[in-house]
Amino acid sequence: MPRKNEENKVREAKLEYTADRRPLYPEMAFTKLSSKNQITLPVAYVRDLGLKPGDEVVLWLDKDHITVERRLYGKELLDSLQGSMKSGEWSTREGTLAWIKNIRDEWEREIPL
């Protein structure tokens, strides 16, 4: 509602719009499924993921929800995997070789010659 100042003049209402304004719960957003089974991602999420028109995304289905991730390629993919196998049987060269031998042995048992 417009306000009047001391001189009884009406000040202009200030219009504010922020495209990346977050919902009350930042991890949650709402969208509708179209008749073509398409959804629109909130612009803030698109920006946070660094998506551009034509980019591919990865969808993960887990029981009753879907996770959307930006698809990684090349060096970025390799960098994301770096260090992901440091624990368990992958933590040493010997452990890795033992795991590979075990898998090969399983293949030989499953495939009769």
pLDDT 10s digits, 29-74: 888 999 999 999 888 888 888 899 999 999 999 888 888 888 988 8
Topology of the domain comprising 12-71 = Pemi-like Protein 1; Chain: D (2.10.260)
Looking at every residue in the chain, the average pLDDT score rounds to 77
pTM of the entire structure? 0.46
Asked whether residue 18 carries a pLDDT value surpassing 60, the answer given is no
Domain boundaries, the chain: 12-71, 85-113
Q: Return the percentage of the chain with pLDDT > 90, whole number.
A: 11
Which of 74, 45, 43, 71 lies closest to 58 in space, CA to CA?
71
Residue 112: per-residue pLDDT: 64
Q: Are 13 and 2 in contact (CB under 8 A)?
A: yes
